[in-house]
Structure 1
Amino acid sequence: MSAVSHLARRAAQKERVRILYRRALKDTLNWAVHRHLFYQDASELRERFEANKNVENLEAIDRLIADGEASHNKWRHPDPYIVPWAPGGSKFTRNPTPPAGELAYILYQSATVCISTGTTAANQIVTEKDFIFLIMIEIIYNYGLEDHIE
């Protein structure tokens, strides 16, 4: 085997080991209910990876990686934790999109802002940054309330 192909294969193996370790560590967090349990499990996982750190035989490394991936797939959590605001989380796209229309008015500190024309009641130009700020304030202000009653 040439030196270049040997180095390329070793680099691919290192990448597979890194990916396997990261997946296993994240899955360990799914199984551990409390952080102190996770830290203990993460240390044990790290020790298992460190035990095979000095293996030099390429075929043995491939076999260890295949065994590790099979073990990981066998013991994956059936219902992994998903951060609430991430896709698939409980809060993902919870806030509905604002209703479509020609004029959208926001009442904030007695200033009515007409978004469609880009002016305030005092005829000041409303920038996109101000608009986003006002929308965020409305979302926070209306958090948990029922639909607006007109």
Structure 2
Amino acid sequence: MSQTAHVARVRSIYRRALKTASDWYLTLDTWRPQALKIRDRFEANRNVPSLREAEQLCDAAEKELEEYAHPDPYKFPLAPGGTKWERSPFPMVSDGQKKDR
């Protein structure tokens, strides 16, 4: 794996870790300490000398993310699957077609 591909993978894992933490801790004052702990864990492994060891750390992190995934992740209310998604139907025009917003 190239260096840029590895950097992209680490970024993806970091973002997913923050998202997973936000699923468990909904308010900012409870989520922020968890986000700092996640950042500290990533910083501790920042200068791993071999790419093989870095790959093993990434595999372990992805496995841990799967283990800690929330069974009912938070969705923004207006996002697809959210509580307010398509709550109000589109207004109909006289020919029965939906009117553009």
TM value normalised by structure 1: 0.61
Deviation at 1:36, TM superposition (A): 1.4
Find the residue that maps to 2:79 and give its secondary structure: coil
Q: How many aligned residue pairs are there?
A: 98
Q: Structure 2 stretches of 5 or more lacking a match? A: 96-100
- Matched residue type, 2:51: L
- Matched residue type, 1:24: A
Instruction: Give the match for residue 34 of structure 1.
Output: 27
Residues in 2 aligned to 1:51 and 1:67: alpha-carbon distance in whole angstroms: 15
- Matched residue type, 1:78: P
Asked if 1:51 is matched to 2:44, the reply is yes
Task: Kindly report structure 1 stretches of 4+ aligned residues shifted beyond 4 Å.
Answer: none
Q: Larger relative contact order (C-alpha < 8 A, sep ≥ 6)? A: 2
Q: Structure 1 stretches of 5 or more lacking a match? A: 1-7, 103-131, 133-150
1:120-131 → structure 2 map (5 Å cutoff): none
| 2:74 counterpart (71, 77, 81) | 81
Deviation at 1:17, TM superposition (A): 0.4
Q: Which has the higher helix share?
A: 2
Find the residue that maps to 2:12 and give its secondary structure: helix
Asked if 1:11 is matched to 2:4, the reply is yes
Root-mean-square deviation (Å): 1.9
Residues in 2 aligned to 1:47 and 1:97: alpha-carbon distance in whole angstroms: 47
Q: Which has the higher strand share?
A: 1
Instruction: Give the match for residue 91 of structure 2.
Output: 98
TM value normalised by structure 2: 0.89
Identity across the alignment (%): 39
Residues in 2 aligned to 1:33 and 1:90: alpha-carbon distance in whole angstroms: 16
